[in-house]
Structure 1
């Protein structure tokens, strides 16, 4: 009797309309759909191909691990960080079901993405409009060229850049992504980086440097050099001393405000002396860990995810 009742219950679930199943699947994360729900029965497998389920792929949720500082958890995090095969396996399962539908793709801040991973994603998800790339993104110029040549519809780019991984190829972005109007840069904004952004991303209207290491000289270059810029988020940044040139006045926040007014740019600042976010910031060595907790939020709504 129990087996018969169980069989009838399974049959009822399997007979649900696909649109109803899709509404239920929306409550799951992408891995639960790909690795779980899609394998229950043929009806669920077909429902898991609903394109609305795959509009946004938030891989950060897939890669979340336990918090804590025990040796077991630390070792688990290290193994998870370098488990490239797991990342590729997740991507393979997901792309089989999503079939090129995703428009938003978010990697975890500390995901470890190699060249083949980015090429694989770009080939199978050409319609990306909003992209979040991780800190550890080891790519050759060739892989970046291919990826951004596929993502010509890209409108919003959010990158966590570590100089240990080399320079980010803003030139390839600028050459291929004419619709890009929003950029969030999280990292150490150096003079070369600011020059590249000005040289190749003139279409930018919104730029966020939230919680980055910055120098006022480079920020001034962005304000005056990006001719279509309308909003610059300068909140919660760590200001570093710029290169001192003899007989040249130091660039201050006042200079940045004046330049913003002259160039019709809205400059978003936080009250440094009374800002809870800034007061909570740790020393340099722990800054990346701290940033990972808040970088999904932003004062510019287009750059939240």
Structure 2
């Protein structure tokens, strides 16, 4: 019988394009050791196709909630682990990251954020839903470096103007904002004054003041998409005012103002699980109690994180689309 020669290749001899397609299925935690196997594998792990989005969704801090600012204590091992992951990712990505996603329970420090901002100069989208340990100076310096930033997911903060002012000065293409927490007149005023060209705004699962909603609808002429699904809508002076009253149904005057929008999304259904959770949590969603992917949802497709755009119940969400 004639000898048959094998045409198979060793792993390190595989075409780079093939390796890249395989490595695309791995997350950052898995990709880090893979990149250390050999030169060809490290080259594949540095391919630009792998690094448009850097999703740290699997990485959480070991933390304890505290009563004093910053209301979070994080152990040193979590900080060291985050530092190691960031060093590997920044080395492999070679400045090609355009979308950066952090877990809701990943609490970084100024040093981490500064390290990232220096090495991701072309960032267009940032999902940073918690920044207890980041200072005002830390976030402002990062935004100054991200002049191509277009989209931000951020937590509620007591004094939002300084962030909006920094975005106004440095991010000329900024058009999308998602706020996770409370949305009051301070937030509405800061947005209108500094980013009046905002096109997409989501405050889903927020404690929303009716006065702030009306103000946004009245003055934000370039706004095209607004999502207030599952919001805890209050009528009164502020989210902390004892006399505030919950609004259980949108008034016709509000719906009339939204008619100019291309897309308006809202949900106040007693059968909606998310609305039920908002009521149980008294308007301040306790994300840590629920599914790990729950905070990643959004009814606005461009703000939903990859793979989680359509997990909500369409029948319980009112969507108004206009030509």
TM-score, normalising length: structure 1 = 0.81
**Inter-partner Cα distance in structure 1 for 2:222 and 2:237:** 27
3-state SS in 2 of match to 1:105? strand
Shift of 1:104: 0.7
Partner of 1:288: 287
**Inter-partner Cα distance in structure 2 for 1:60 and 1:182:** 21
RMSD: 2.9
Partner of 1:41: 38
Cα separation, partners in 2 of 1:49 and 1:264, compared to 1, 3 Å: closer
Which shows bigger deviation, 44-53 or 138-147?
138-147
**Inter-partner Cα distance in structure 2 for 1:283 and 1:57:** 31
Pick from 169, 181, 184 the counterpart of residue 187 of structure 1: 181
Pick from 131, 134, 138 the counterpart of residue 136 of structure 1: 131
Shift of 1:189: 1.2
Partner of 1:207: 201
Structure number with the higher helix fraction is: 1
3-state SS in 2 of match to 1:178? coil
Shift of 1:45: 1.5
3-state SS in 2 of match to 1:62? coil
**Inter-partner Cα distance in structure 1 for 2:15 and 2:122:** 28
**Inter-partner Cα distance in structure 1 for 2:139 and 2:223:** 25
Shift of 1:64: 8.6
Contact 1:31 1:94 (C-alpha < 8 Å) held by counterparts: no
Partner of 1:122: 117
Residues 244-268 of structure 1 deviation map (CA, whole Å, 9 limit, x = unaligned): 99xxxx997213222223x546431
**Inter-partner Cα distance in structure 1 for 2:293 and 2:155:** 13
Residues 155-207 of structure 1 deviation map (CA, whole Å, 9 limit, x = unaligned): 211112354xx646111112111111111111111221221111111121111
**Inter-partner Cα distance in structure 1 for 2:61 and 2:12:** 30
Pick from 188, 210, 233 the counterpart of residue 227 of structure 2: 233
Partner of 1:176: 170
- Segments of structure 2 that go 5 or more residues without pairing to the other structure are 1-5, 63-72, 306-323
**Inter-partner Cα distance in structure 2 for 1:146 and 1:130:** 16
3-state SS in 2 of match to 1:57? strand
Shift of 1:271: 3.9
Paired residues in the alignment total 278
**Inter-partner Cα distance in structure 2 for 1:194 and 1:265:** 20
Residues 93-139 of structure 1 deviation map (CA, whole Å, 9 limit, x = unaligned): 11011010111100111211211111111100011111101313433
- Segments of structure 1 that go 5 or more residues without pairing to the other structure are 1-7, 66-77
**Inter-partner Cα distance in structure 1 for 2:121 and 2:303:** 21
Contact 1:210 1:235 (C-alpha < 8 Å) held by counterparts: yes
Pick from 55, 60, 80 the counterpart of residue 58 of structure 1: 55
Pick from 14, 17, 23 the counterpart of residue 16 of structure 1: 14
**Inter-partner Cα distance in structure 2 for 1:130 and 1:283:** 29
3-state SS in 2 of match to 1:220? helix
Shift of 1:15: 0.9
Partner of 1:279: 276
**Inter-partner Cα distance in structure 2 for 1:147 and 1:276:** 37
Partner of 2:25: 27
3-state SS in 1 of match to 2:57? helix
